[in-house]
Amino acid sequence: MWLWRSTVQSPKGVIVLVHGAGEYHGRYEKTNQLLNEHGYHIIMGDLPGQGTTAGPRGHIDSFSQYVREVTSWMREAFQFDLPVILMGHSMGGLAAQETLHSLPDHLQPEVMLLSSPCFGLATSQPRWRRTLAGMLSRTAPKTMFPNGLEPGSGTRDETMRQRDEADDLLVKKVSARWYTELLKAMKRAHETAPALPDVPVYVTQGGDDRIVDKQEVRRWFDALRVSEKAYKEWPDAYHEVLNEPERRQVADHLIGFLDVQLQLRRR
């Protein structure tokens, strides 16, 4: 687990940031810098099977492993005497909202922020592949497959693309069990959306996302019954909206929602 401290005189809160599939904390330097500049500390770790963690890379036995890990980060964030915010990108957004459902009252965040959350995949696998993955998940769960992501499909930022090509910590293969657990988690997200705890929710979404299905993101968002929610789509942005050329606009809009919600909740 890592901590990025804001250097402002009076920090506004602590953001627990959950990364997406295949990546790890090191890809979030620019994002963390932007959020630090706005007055927020960042707590972040690597999810099981990714980045610097031990165990089989690209594999989990159950999606609940992610939930337990994020919950431990939330506990750490509450050690600060500051508002705590839960934020997730892509599959990390999926994990964040599932974690929110299970958090006890004393670990509930003030706000949840989601960046291109994975509530559906842009490219669906053929039925025979899904069937094969299901069989292997039961009989040989650690069987590995390429993750199917095209190089450069996440961002238009050339610096990030070149960085990813040289990064050995990125996970580019996933197990059959990981895949079936992802599918189950996406299904649960839609089924449980109306019952999400009443925490303000902000979703920022790439309009030209080639990784997650933005229509499924919108479907999840529309099903929410929380008191405060906002959805912002950036027309030209790829999946990683906070790594895109317009990242500062994206961050400013997100922080604008967050700042207002924290002010309202202090009244």
Catalytic positions, please? Answer: 90, 209, 239
Amino acid at site 24: Y
Q: How do beta strands 144-146 and 173-175 pair?
A: antiparallel
Cβ-Cβ contacts under 8 Å for 12 (sequence gap 6 or more): 38, 39, 40, 82, 83, 259, 262
- Helix (H/G/I), strand (E/B), else coil: 243: helix
Q: How far apart are CA 139 and CA 143, in angstroms?
A: 9
Contact between 213 and 120 (Cβ < 8 Å): yes
Amino acid at site 79: Q
- Helix (H/G/I), strand (E/B), else coil: 175: strand
- Helix, strand, coil fractions of the chain, as percent rounded to 5: 45, 15, 40
Q: How far apart are CA 107 and CA 151, in angstroms?
A: 37
Q: How far apart are CA 214 and CA 119, in angstroms?
A: 8
Nearest one of 204, 197, 225, 200 to 100, comparing CA atoms: 197
Q: What is the dihedral of CA 117, 192, 148, 130, to 10 degrees?
A: -170
- For tokens 């602590």, name the residue: 14
